[in-house]
Chains A and B, each alone.
Chain A
């Protein structure tokens, strides 16, 4: 088959582009460690979250040096806890589940967001850097009060961070 030189050029160029796309994504995953939200976390009974060791008393807990776990319950129409305070320069893992319908947990203006499904625990890990405040909203239409469903992620300087007293 006879292929014109120019045609060879743009065939090769488009192949190169695809290889470039794949390389970029591979670099993101392997090099930087960017992850997708998956279903590897345990399931829970959405009707009895009160009996769950973590979700019965959701909030922030320290699990290691500069490592924090945040347990959040989403329900119509709030997040519990609404305001989450974590220190800067730390690794924060959110565990979010719903006790009624499908919600989402979206840190506004960032790449951190996940769908929140009753019975499933959505687990996302982020690295906090600069202190600051981010809004958290539900982006899955969940009912008449959906537009009021919001929270706040407050990243405070490390020396000002204090974990709430255990009760």
Chain B
């Protein structure tokens, strides 16, 4: 049986650029959603319970 191996690369040569792009996009989405949820939806939703920590 002949090997189907076409090219062998080392640990550092393997660069999953697609995965990197996906994760970067997810990261950006999560960051934007968090900022929107906290600063717009939550803080913009007066009345908000306030008070010094007794």
Chain A contact residues: helix, strand, loop or mixed: mixed
Nearest A residue to B48 via CB reads: A111
Q: Which listed segment binds B: A31-39, A49-57, A61-69, A159-167?
A: A31-39
Assess whether A80 is interfacial by the CB under 8 Å rule: no
Closest B residue by C-beta to A14 = B27
Q: Which residues of A contact B54 (CB under 8 A)?
A: 40
Chain A hits for B38, CB < 8 A:
24, 28
- Range for the number of chain B residues in contact with chain A: 20 to 34
Number of interface residues of A (CB under 8 A): 33
Of A2, A24, A111, A127, chain B has the most CB atoms within 10 Å of the CB of A111
Q: In the complex the two chains form, is B50's CB within 8 Å of A127's CB?
A: yes
Q: What CA separation (Å) do A124 and B54 show in the bound complex?
A: 13
Q: Name B's A-contacting residues (CB within 8 A).
A: 11-12, 14-16, 19-20, 23, 27, 30-31, 34, 38, 42-43, 45-54
